Chain A
């Protein structure tokens, strides 16, 4: 294995985010990966036989598939030195008060309680590998909306689960989707019945908190015809010095006339490998929107995609990446036009600083017969110093008639004119730069619910501290 210098996680992390909770686990699986561990995970969860078989089959696929040779350098991942399953507490909590105090303490620092009380319908907060806290507003239950952790969904809604699980992202899709299918644990399951609009965003916080442990959550969202849901996923992770692997799979089915929005703010600590597969299928006149913000992790490889399956479907990706010292954000989006008269847009904003590297990687594919499609991609990159790096890799394949496809990208630095203007108004340089960066990502921030926008601005401010333009 290549020896790659280990990136030091920012030593100011503790002050910055101010939390670090000692580990206390009910069950801790052994390190490494083999069929016995996979069987043990499945047995622990008392899963039906088909799931055990699927896990084992996926493990085989994972072993056969080569590591991707493109994108970020993944050679430092040691799959044998990772915990594939951890369970922080035995039972699922029903209310906030039932949560173990140390977990609550962690969430307090993130401001979850306010969000819970003011805005949220339900919080499905993932601490370690299992969803431990989960509440659901009564009105949602009345509407027939299912919002639960994925393990419970397999137990409580087996038919619905089996119908959709692994249909959008089959295990063999890529090496990491195979890994996830073999060892998945936790994640959210949402079913929105026909015509139901969920007015309040549903959200879950994900956390990693054990040395060398992997998180393999699995999210499945089904929006039935004419429904609407907005799901928010946000992550932060405390400091650890050895590499952690996070490899989630998110599958979304958006049926006729439905609309789904999936918002992510990813802020793993800078030793995490974040290798995520996110994909949605959008059917007739449906709309799928990915709002994807990547701030943390050492390496992120994530390309939310939309398969536009029937006429009138619309796909939207809004992606923001921020890479500081030692970070590589390889993010972007994919739009696969399978049906005619479908439209898609991808907007990417990236910021690199202190030697960080951001890459936009995208794919627009228009299949034969998918006529009259429109697709537009816009990428803007901001480089804050001359140590940093920005790349753009857009792949555009057009196989159909009367298709309009456009791609535009710019790379620039913070403009001297803008800085001069702000500084001439008595604003300090650092503050002025923060303002410009916040302005640069505004198209993204304004799509976020208020408390997230505030949090993001605060995070950017933290990241920008001490930056020298």
Chain B
């Protein structure tokens, strides 16, 4: 058992460059120590009881259901990532794992060495389509690893939406999961991306999402985190071109003994860029969440606007929320605000509803719905919005 060079053998038939990269990432995995509590990023995130080696069986190598929008314009490439690595090395090789770095930590390295499934989407310059691409990643059984990777390349002035859904058939499954995403936005591209994480309640989930935005491009990225015993998600936007705009939104609903960790980065590398982040979560039972986000405005990134907010609704006296919104501003010609709140349902609001004859449980549910309401409106496209609303409804229920 364990992840070792022999376990790479099942991933046969891949081009040499990819095999080489996998071997490199595996070496990195073996070299890097497990994150310890002395690392700032992992201080509140305990992975000492997680041994990925026990889940070293890889499930169904291309276990992905892709729903292609009908009438996809010509030139659009949409196929499993491993297939694309074979068919379009000129598009995949220069980009794969250049945003999400394999040597970031042990888990990123493991993901880069063993990623399976996942999608490659290439949309050429000027191509637009309305119907979203739907990628569904399933796990059929527990005790294994499901490590899909999504690579999206948006050509100049392209416009489209994409949904990644991570679904477990057995809600009690155990295992190692990761769903990482790299998005390249060309000049003027407009991309909506939604990730809905609904893995089983006993899995360990690690996700790295990073987007790079060229001039005048717009990214609307939305995360929904519901599953996993442990879920760590990094969301990073690198604003590399003037006039680019990143909207990073998320909702999470933690219950039972779930632990969610979010680390975000809004990296303003050039001027006239804009980013807006809002992460909203509700916590029940004995769940715990950690949010840590950084806005970084680099030296010459004048006239940039950056916003960052994390709101936590704590519904139980045993739940615990940590919120660390950070700023590093290296330039004075900016507008930058951030905020964090942690609190229970407002007793005045509850009193108001109850005084109108609404039972406490119903009133509470209405307030939770209201809490999520403003951020649900920001889900970039209708299909995802309906899906998320239904999911949330069943949780709050």
A-B contact pairs, 22 of them (CB 8 A): A383-B331, A384-B332, A385-B332, A386-B332, A390-B327, A391-B326, A392-B327, A393-B324, A393-B326, A394-B326, A397-B322, A398-B320, A401-B317, A403-B342, A403-B343, A406-B339, A407-B338, A409-B327, A409-B337, A410-B337, A411-B329, A411-B337
Say whether B342 contacts A405, CB under 8 Å: yes
Closest to A357 in B: B330
- Nearest CB of B to A260, in Å: 28
Say whether B342 contacts A391, CB under 8 Å: no
Say whether B323 contacts A401, CB under 8 Å: no
Closest to B330 in A: A389
Say whether A396 contacts B338, CB under 8 Å: no
In the bound complex, residues from chain A placing their C-beta under 8 Å from that of B335 are: 411-412
- Nearest CB of B to A71, in Å: 11
Known: A395-B324, A402-B317, A410-B336. A381 touches B342 (CB 8 A): no
In the bound complex, residues from chain B placing their C-beta under 8 Å from that of A383 are: 329, 331-332, 334
- Nearest CB of B to A32, in Å: 29
In the bound complex, residues from chain B placing their C-beta under 8 Å from that of A352 are: 332
Closest to A391 in B: B328
Cα(A394)–Cα(B322), bound, Å: 10
Q: Does A430 contact B (CB under 8 A)?
A: no
Which among A389, A390, A394, A401 is the interface contact of B324 at CB below 8 angstroms? A394
Q: Does B333 contact A (CB under 8 A)?
A: yes
Q: Does A371 contact B (CB under 8 A)?
A: yes
- Nearest CB of B to A402, in Å: 5
Say whether A407 contacts B341, CB under 8 Å: yes
In the bound complex, residues from chain B placing their C-beta under 8 Å from that of A403 are: 314, 342-344
Cα(A397)–Cα(B318), bound, Å: 13
Q: Is the interface of A mostly helix, strand, loop or mixed?
A: strand
Known: A396-B324, A401-B344. A409 touches B339 (CB 8 A): yes
Q: Does B321 contact A (CB under 8 A)?
A: yes
In the bound complex, residues from chain A placing their C-beta under 8 Å from that of B334 are: 383, 411-413
Q: Top 9 nearest A-B pairs by Cβ distance?
A: A401-B317, A383-B332, A392-B327, A413-B332, A411-B336, A407-B340, A405-B342, A404-B343, A396-B323
Say whether B321 contacts A398, CB under 8 Å: yes
Say whether A391 contacts B323, CB under 8 Å: no
- 15 additional A-B pairs beyond A390-B329, A404-B343, beta carbons within 8 Å, are A383-B334, A386-B302, A389-B328, A393-B326, A394-B325, A396-B324, A397-B44, A401-B344, A402-B344, A405-B341, A405-B342, A406-B340, A407-B325, A410-B336, A411-B334
Produce 1/0 per residue, B255-279, CB < 8 A to A.
0000000000000000000000000
Cα(A401)–Cα(B344), bound, Å: 8
In the bound complex, residues from chain A placing their C-beta under 8 Å from that of B330 are: 389
Closest to B336 in A: A411
- Nearest CB of B to A257, in Å: 28
Say whether B329 contacts A391, CB under 8 Å: yes
Docked complex: A81-97 residues within 8 A CB-CB of B: none
In the bound complex, residues from chain B placing their C-beta under 8 Å from that of A341 are: none
Q: Does B90 contact A (CB under 8 A)?
A: no
Q: Does A287 contact B (CB under 8 A)?
A: no
B contacts with A, residue count (CB < 8 A): 35
Closest to B335 in A: A412
Q: Does A400 contact B (CB under 8 A)?
A: yes
Q: Does A47 contact B (CB under 8 A)?
A: no
Known: A408-B337, A410-B337, A411-B334. A381 touches B329 (CB 8 A): yes
Known: A394-B326, A396-B324, A407-B325. A386 touches B340 (CB 8 A): no
Say whether B338 contacts A392, CB under 8 Å: yes
Docked complex: B45-79 residues within 8 A CB-CB of A: none
Docked complex: A214-252 residues within 8 A CB-CB of B: none
- Nearest CB of A to B193, in Å: 28
Q: Does A42 contact B (CB under 8 A)?
A: no
Known: A407-B323, A410-B336, A413-B333. A398 touches B342 (CB 8 A): yes
Q: Does B6 contact A (CB under 8 A)?
A: no
Cα(A404)–Cα(B331), bound, Å: 33
- Nearest CB of A to B265, in Å: 14
- Nearest CB of A to B207, in Å: 23
Say whether A398 contacts B322, CB under 8 Å: yes
* Residue from the set A352, A384, A385, A410 with the largest chain B CB neighbour count within 10 Å: A410
Cα(A187)–Cα(B316), bound, Å: 46
- Nearest CB of B to A334, in Å: 14
Q: Does B40 contact A (CB under 8 A)?
A: yes
In the bound complex, residues from chain B placing their C-beta under 8 Å from that of A408 are: 337-339
* Residue from the set B40, B322, B333, B342 with the largest chain A CB neighbour count within 10 Å: B342
Cα(A393)–Cα(B295), bound, Å: 11
Q: Does A388 contact B (CB under 8 A)?
A: yes
In the bound complex, residues from chain A placing their C-beta under 8 Å from that of B316 are: 401
Closest to B320 in A: A399
Say whether B320 contacts A406, CB under 8 Å: no
- Nearest CB of A to B187, in Å: 26
Closest to A375 in B: B342
In the bound complex, residues from chain B placing their C-beta under 8 Å from that of A50 are: none
Which among A70, A386, A392 is the interface contact of B331 at CB below 8 angstroms? A386
In the bound complex, residues from chain A placing their C-beta under 8 Å from that of B340 are: 394, 396, 405-407
Cα(A398)–Cα(B287), bound, Å: 12
Produce 1/0 per residue, A403-428, CB < 8 A to B.
11111111111000000000000000
Cα(A383)–Cα(B300), bound, Å: 14
Closest to A399 in B: B320
In the bound complex, residues from chain B placing their C-beta under 8 Å from that of A409 are: 325, 327, 337-339
Closest to A365 in B: B322
Say whether B341 contacts A406, CB under 8 Å: yes
- Nearest CB of B to A364, in Å: 9
In the bound complex, residues from chain B placing their C-beta under 8 Å from that of A411 are: 327, 329, 334-337
Docked complex: A263-304 residues within 8 A CB-CB of B: none
- Nearest CB of B to A398, in Å: 5
Cα(A406)–Cα(B311), bound, Å: 9
In the bound complex, residues from chain A placing their C-beta under 8 Å from that of B320 are: 397-399
Cα(A174)–Cα(B323), bound, Å: 24
Cα(A409)–Cα(B309), bound, Å: 10
Docked complex: A125-144 residues within 8 A CB-CB of B: none
- Nearest CB of A to B294, in Å: 9
Which among B317, B333, B338, B341 is the interface contact of A400 at CB below 8 angstroms? B317
In the bound complex, residues from chain B placing their C-beta under 8 Å from that of A405 are: 323, 340-343
In the bound complex, residues from chain B placing their C-beta under 8 Å from that of A386 are: 299-300, 302, 331-333
In the bound complex, residues from chain A placing their C-beta under 8 Å from that of B302 are: 386
In the bound complex, residues from chain B placing their C-beta under 8 Å from that of A399 are: 320
In the bound complex, residues from chain B placing their C-beta under 8 Å from that of A398 are: 312, 314, 320-323, 342
Closest to A411 in B: B336
Produce 1/0 per residue, B71-110, CB < 8 A to A.
0000000000000000000000000000000000000000
- Nearest CB of B to A127, in Å: 39
In the bound complex, residues from chain A placing their C-beta under 8 Å from that of B314 are: 398, 401, 403
In the bound complex, residues from chain A placing their C-beta under 8 Å from that of B324 are: 393-396
Say whether A371 contacts B325, CB under 8 Å: no
Produce 1/0 per residue, B290-322, CB < 8 A to A.
000000000110100000000010101110111
In the bound complex, residues from chain A placing their C-beta under 8 Å from that of B321 are: 398
In the bound complex, residues from chain B placing their C-beta under 8 Å from that of A395 are: 322, 324
In the bound complex, residues from chain A placing their C-beta under 8 Å from that of B342 are: 396, 398, 403-405
In the bound complex, residues from chain A placing their C-beta under 8 Å from that of B323 are: 396, 398, 405, 407
Produce 1/0 per residue, B116-142, CB < 8 A to A.
000000000000000000000000000
Say whether A70 contacts B40, CB under 8 Å: yes
